[in-house]
Amino acid sequence: MVSSKNIVALTGAGISVESGIPPFRGKGGLWEKFDPMEYAHIDAFMKNPAKVWDVLIKEMKVIIDNARPNTAHKGLAKLEKLGLLKTIITQNVDGLHQMAGNTDVVEFHGNFAWQRCMECNNKCETIKIDIGKIPPRCECGGIYKPECIFFGEMIPQQYLRRSEMAASTCDIMLVIGTSANVQPAASIPLIAKQARAKVIEINLERTPLSKEISDYIIMGKAGEVLTTLINEIEHLLNL
């Protein structure tokens, strides 16, 4: 890694678990509690925004408002400061990479920090939304929808292009805390692999990438693994 010219990281919910944000899948995952097709699909939101706000979004707002970057986020920020990491492609909507100090972050699934009125397109910061009134409405009377990509929605073209460019030009891709189940994000490591990059996977468990895509698999908590990695890199760089 110390001789790398261009490291790109792809991150998923697992990197934010140590910040108190539950993952989506597996034990204690959000989708164990809520059926994603009933609460996180755009058709479900359009059909009954009040229900989706009342059950899922209110809970997410409280969790994300109180979350702070953990040692894994801070580790990636340090890798950027060392000039090794160039870009983060994240599936997370929590904004914790930017809060940790990373400057080039592709928010592949959007960001929960903003809401958009479905009538007049007015944008409002989520922190300013009063969740006492569900569904929250814009001055025009339109209903606010989080600026996150719901199931059934397309990934914006500029996010796809930037991610494909970053993945096809990196020499190392760190894949951290994703179950690699959701497309098109789960194909990004394949683009890196085809561009002859080394794929390093960091996860508590094996994923569909582990068999044929990942060159190295480091099993462990993202915070602990990245702390050890950064210490080793700083040692090798005599810092």
73 part of the active site = no
* Binding of residue 222 to ligand APR (CB under 6 A): yes
Contacts with ligand APR, 24-43, as mask; x by CB under 6 A: xxx--x--------------
Q: Report the residue from 66, 181, 187, 194 that binds ligand APR according to the rule CB under 6 A.
A: 181
* Binding of residue 59 to ligand APR (CB under 6 A): no
* Binding of residue 18 to ligand APR (CB under 6 A): yes
* CA 68 – CA 99 distance, rounded (Å): 8
- Find out whether 88 and 104 touch, Cβ atoms under 8 Å: yes
Q: What is the smallest separation between the CB atom of 116 and ligand APR, expressed in angstroms? A: 17
Question: How many CA atoms lie within 13 Å of 165's alpha carbon, on the beta-carbon side?
Answer: 9
Q: What is the smallest separation between the CB atom of 3 and ligand APR, expressed in angstroms? A: 25
- The structure tokens listed for 116 are 């958009």
C-beta of 26 vs 101, nearer to ligand APR: 26
* Binding of residue 109 to ligand APR (CB under 6 A): yes
The residue from 41, 73, 97, 109 that is catalytic is 109
- Using CB under 6 A, count the residues that bind ligand APR: 23
Contacts with ligand APR, 66-105, as mask; x by CB under 6 A: -------------------------x--------------
Residues with catalytic roles: 109
Question: Residues in the site for ligand APR, rule: CB under 6 A?
Answer: 12-14, 17-18, 23-26, 29, 91, 109, 177-179, 181-182, 203-205, 207, 221-222
